Amino acid sequence: MRTLAPLIALMTAVVLAGCSATYRNHGYIPPEEELQELVVGIDTRATIEDLVGPPSSGGVLENGNYFYVRSRTKTLGLRAPQEIERQVLAMSFDGEGVLANIERFGLEDGRVVSLSRRVTSSSVNDVSFIRQLLGNIGQIGPEGAFGG
């Protein structure tokens, strides 16, 4: 029994450690002190990148808005990770690339967005690579083989 007690204590510690929450941080939002230095109507994309760093992502267009995103997830045991915090900092610009607005959004501001998937259909319909390769044998004539 004496040798079994340390083993039981170790097993209990391992089980309890497995049940503790694990937190994971992802992304970056500039500190509030740095954001206070930005001036709407004065700062440009270049000055913003120099002061607070490049954004996590940009708008779809070449001169689109800047987005800084940070999230925090919690995993408890074998459960799926749960997002407990999300912040999005959006900076919009006017036509000359001058800062026009700074907005901050949180997880409570979020909403479900249904994404449409627009993919060009393939001309290959459920045909394996080998079948495609073998199907091309005999399709090439002498003029196609020798560039004539």
Picking from 83, 52, 61, the residue whose alpha carbon sits closest to that of residue 70 is 83
Is 106:86 a contact under the CB 8 Å cutoff?
A: yes
CA distances from 80 to 21, 73, 103 (A): 12, 10, 31
For residue range 17-72, list pLDDT tens digits in order: 667 788 899 888 899 999 999 999 999 988 998 999 888 766 555 567 888 888 89
Would residue 10 count as lying in a domain? no
In a domain, 7, yes or no: no
What is the rounded average pLDDT of the residues 75-88? 84
Residue 97 falls inside a structural domain: yes
Question: Contact, 80 vs 21, CB < 8 A?
Answer: no
Total domains present in the chain: 1
In this predicted structure, what is the pLDDT of residue 47? 92
pLDDT at 85 over 80: yes
**Is 20 contained in some domain?**
no
Range of the domain at 46: 26-112
pLDDT of 1 higher than 80: no
Q: What is the mean pLDDT of residues 74-79?
A: 82
86-109 pLDDT tens trace: 888 888 888 888 999 998 888 776
CATH number at residue 30: 3.30.1450
